[in-house]
Amino acid sequence: MSAGTPQAGDAGAIRPLVRVRGLKKSFGSHRVLDGVDLDVAEGSVTVLLGPSGSGKSTLLRCVNHLERPDAGFVEVAGEIVGYRYRDGRLHELPGREITRQRTQVGMVFQQFNLFPHLTVLENLIEAPVAVRGVPKPDAVAKAGELLARVGLDGRQSAYPRELSGGQQQRVAIARALAMEPRLLLFDEPTSALDPELVGEVLGVIRDLAVGGMSMIIVTHEIGFAREVADQAVFLDGGRIVESGAPADVLDRPGNERARAFLSAVL
Amino acid sequence: MTSDVSERTALPSAPADEHLLTARLVAPRRPGLWISAAILLVLAAMLIHTLVTNRRFQWPTVRGYFFERSILHGLELTIWLTAAVLVTGYVIGTAVAAARLSKNPVLKSLGFGFVWLIRSVPMLVQLLFWYELASLYPKLSLGIPFGPEFASFKTAHLFGGILAAYVALSLDVAAFSAEIVRGGILSVPAGQVEAAQALGLGRGRIFRRIVLPQAMPAIVPASGNLLIGMLKATSIVSVIAVQDLLYSAQLIYNENFQIIPLLLVATLWYVVLTTVLSIGQYFVERHYARGTNRRGDGFARLFRRNLPLFNRAGLAAGGRS
């Protein structure tokens, strides 16, 4: 893919899909993000690593404006997320505009967050039909394709509680894909799963990486990170303390905190 | 040595394994269960016996007045007053719940204050306040606050018994339903809203399609309580001479002194209405149990679980499957 490909002649490389600059966020007196800069190239996979409380999830949630940053900005596909710049000020966008921006960014949660009162099929077609105005038969056909892709075709009429955790998470991935997002965010997608179910979910994410989907993944699965990531980022105390190729960050970390953490989880 | 050990540890009449394997299982005796059931059955029989044999209940008179025209008029008023009060109360109550859940501190405090005030004042007192509104405000007018008036009314003409009852009871339902709705909404995990937001669903859609259906299982049983309570609480309007079901019965017995039979007429009608509402509540609850494992609790299964008579059939069915 285009990730890392140097552009000949032209002054700059291709504008990254995601640009994070000077991002700061506090909850009360606790500073969770303390000036984060990050680029994610289109079609590339970035993994966010770090101890709990280091700000990984908050950074991820700022990318689709589930959290409002205190300072700095996130840009996705050339648009500032959640704000419009005018006369030296960033004005927060009205709800409708934020909603529109979010349709470009899919998100998969640690606790799956499938809608328990809707069937698998209804979970998948709700947003495409309601938000993008896809005709229902088309949405249903698309849902079938996506379920086949995550290995769950035929489970359309099941309710989420009838599925295992791994199956629920695969449905959640299919649900995010149904909106045809340009970017997928994963917030510890396998942390709530029994060990024997982790593999099936990682397999689906691996297939997406091979297919060229742009993704930012918060995970503690170091082996998986090394395998799929184009870029690994290590956060500690709300700052990026280490970033680069997975082999460098994971195997030869310069930062002492990163070295201690990685040797503990490996 | 080994034989010594086995002789010492085994009981003198230890049964052989094959006997244990073929033995029938016997449930423990529960004499308390049988005794308490017998006592309750005797009490129930006494109740039915006295209802049937005590002449002073005057069942023929009850039958004679059951479909009396004025009673049916009172019944009609009770039904529509309850319906109107419930609808108005829930519309206001949902708005108050939204206010209490909003981030706006003014709305939040106003919502809290409303619930606090209405819940603090006894319903009868509220009813009398609205009925006597004319002595507080002899004239009501429409207009710009602190500015000119467009129209004005004599309060005493406007606030008759029925309007006073409607306003007082609606506000009461609003305060209580606000808390029920708020509790239901709070019972939906925050992750559900986040997932819906991440999919790009709008606020209204998230509330209608994601939050409300999941809040309903918490809202419906409490609302059924409130609804049935309000149906009977409307009888309070008899104190301000609104001709509801109870007051219609009272008007009749004030003339003919058949107090007990006419109270029974009113009572039986309240029982009929409550029964209809309870059945309705059952079906509404079942509808909102989608995606949970509570759905299978049908009437038949509830009976089988609770009545030993049906238990046998349940066991037999279980054995076959």
CATH code where residue B85 lies? 1.10.3720.10
In a 10 Å sphere around its CB, with 0-12 CB exposed, 13-18 middle and 19+ buried, how is residue B122 labelled? exposed
B303 is a domain residue: no
Residue B1 belongs to a domain: no
DSSP for A149-180, please give it. HTT-TT-TT--GGGS-HHHHHHHHHHHHHTT-
pLDDT at residue number A102: 93
Q: Is A159 in the B-facing interface, judged by CB distances under 8 Å?
A: yes
Residue B127 falls inside a structural domain: yes
pLDDT tens digits, one per residue of A208-235: 999 999 999 999 888 899 999 999 999 9
Q: What is the mean pLDDT of each run of 10 residues along chain B (321 residues)?
A: 51 81 87 92 94 87 90 92 95 94 93 95 91 81 77 74 91 95 94 94 92 92 92 89 90 90 93 93 87 59 49 39 33
* Whole-number Å distance between alpha carbons of B92 and B94: 6
C-alpha distance from A11 to closest chain B C-alpha (Å): 35
- Partners of A160 on chain B (C-beta within 8 Å) are 291
The count of domains in chain B is 1
- Looking up tokens 């979910």 gives A201
A180-189: per-residue pLDDT in tens? 999 999 999 9
CB contact under 8 A, B199 and A160: no
**Residue B269 forms part of a structural domain:** yes
SS3 content of chain A, % helix, strand, coil (to 5): 35, 25, 40
For residues A46-58, give the mean pLDDT. Answer: 91
* Measured distance CA(A20)–CA(A48) in Å, rounded: 14
The residue range of the domain holding B118 is: 59-288
- The interface predicted TM-score (ipTM) is 0.88
Residue at B305 is within a domain: no
- CATH architecture observed for domain A14-104+185-190+214-266: 3-Layer(aba) Sandwich (3.40)
For residue range A119-177, list pLDDT tens digits in order: 999 999 999 999 999 999 999 999 999 999 999 999 999 999 999 999 999 999 999 99
Chain B residues lying within 8 Å of A172, measured CB to CB: 195
- Which of B195, B213, B288 minimises the CB distance to A109? B195
Which pLDDT score is estimated for B161? Answer: 84
Indicate whether B104 belongs to any domain. Answer: yes
Q: Give yes or no for A96 touching B (CB within 8 A).
A: yes
Q: Do B210 and A115 touch (CB under 8 A)?
A: yes
Tell me the pLDDT tens digit for each residue of A72-104: 999 999 999 999 999 889 999 998 999 999 999
- What is the amino acid identity at position B300? A
Q: In Å, what is the CA distance from A166 to each residue of A160, A171, A175, A178, A226?
A: 11, 9, 14, 18, 22
Cβ-Cβ contacts under 8 Å, A118 against chain B: 291
Domain ranges of chain A: 14-104+185-190+214-266
Rounded Cα–Cα distance for residues A195 and A191 (Å) = 9
Residue A193 has pLDDT above 50, yes or no: yes
Q: Would the CB atoms of B195 and A107 count as touching at under 8 Å?
A: yes
Is residue B32 included in any domain, yes or no?
no
Residues of B with CB under 8 A from a CB of A: 189, 191-192, 194-203, 205, 209-210, 213-214, 288, 290-293
Are residues B199 and A175, on separate chains, in Cβ contact within 8 Å?
Answer: yes
Helix, strand, coil % over all residues of chain B, rounded to 5: 80, 5, 20
* Amino acid identity, position B273: L
Interface list for A 27-66 with B (CB within 8 A): 64, 66
Cα dihedral B159/B160/B166/B171 (nearest 10): 40
- H/E element, A130: helix A120-131
- Mean pLDDT taken over chain A: 90
Q: Note whether residue B12 is domain-resident.
A: no
Spatial distance between the Cα atoms of B14 and B1, rounded to a whole number of angstroms? 20
The Cα of A144 is separated from the nearest Cα of chain B by a number of Å equal to: 18
Tokens 């059945």 belong to residue: B279
| DSSP secondary structure code for residue B139 in this structure | E
